[in-house]
């Protein structure tokens, strides 16, 4: 079993319902155990003009490889009609693999830790709620310390 952190996001449709439903699907997926889930946060979007997001993070225990976990997350996104038409555009569901143990991994379709994890308050705030002492392996710094280095003014607990 490996510990992994993922991020949830949605800003199209009934985002809270979509996120709750996707969390349930994830928790019922073979090889995945949901250990903890952060609160939901309303966050200001990055990218083109669009509605605010609802974001959260979860810590999982998985029997999957990172690529298998990514494939599982992408399949769940598809169940909620996720389309990828615009970089950082609006979406019904976004599931990001953020951390996988202390692994540093790069392939054509997956980078661990998530490449923008250290600069995104909408990820660091919920992740620090449930895993403040997790050390981000590239920087060697805890999530709690990384959180102190970003502007959190656009992140508000629901």
Positions marked catalytic: 82, 91, 94, 96
The burial class, CB within 10 Å (0-12 / 13-18 / 19+), for 82 is middle
Residue 144, judged by CB atoms within 10 A of its CB (0-12, 13-18, 19+), counts as middle
Helix count and strand count (H, E) for the chain: 4, 10
Give residue for tokens 């990820």.
123
Alpha helices of 28-157 — where are they, by DSSP H?
Answer: 66-79, 121-130, 143-147
Among 23, 65, 64, 57, which Cα is nearest to 40's?
Answer: 57
CB neighbours of 107 closer than 8 A, spacing ≥ 6? 67
User: Would you state the structure tokens that stand for residue 91, as one six-digit string?
Assistant: 């979406």
């Amino acid at each position: 079993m490996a510990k992994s952190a993922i991020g949830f996001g949605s800003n199209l449709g009934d985002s809270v319902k979509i996120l709750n439903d996707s969390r349930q699907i994830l928790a019922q997926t073979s090889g995945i155990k949901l250990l903890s889930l952060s609160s939901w946060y309303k966050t200001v979007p990055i990218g083109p003009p669009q509605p605010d997001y609802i974001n959260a993070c979860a810590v999982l225990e998985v029997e999957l490889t990172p690529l298998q976990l990514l494939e599982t997350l992408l399949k769940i996104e598809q169940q909620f009609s996720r389309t990828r038409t615009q970089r950082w555009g609006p979406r019904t569901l976004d599931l990001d693999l953020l951390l996988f143990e202390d692994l540093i991994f790069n392939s054509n379709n997956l980078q661990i830790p998530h490449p923008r994890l250290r600069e995104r308050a909408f990820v660091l705030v919920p992740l620090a709620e449930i895993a403040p002492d997790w050390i981000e392996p590239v920087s060697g710094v805890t999530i709690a310390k990384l959180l102190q280095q970003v502007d959190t003014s656009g992140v508000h607990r629901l």
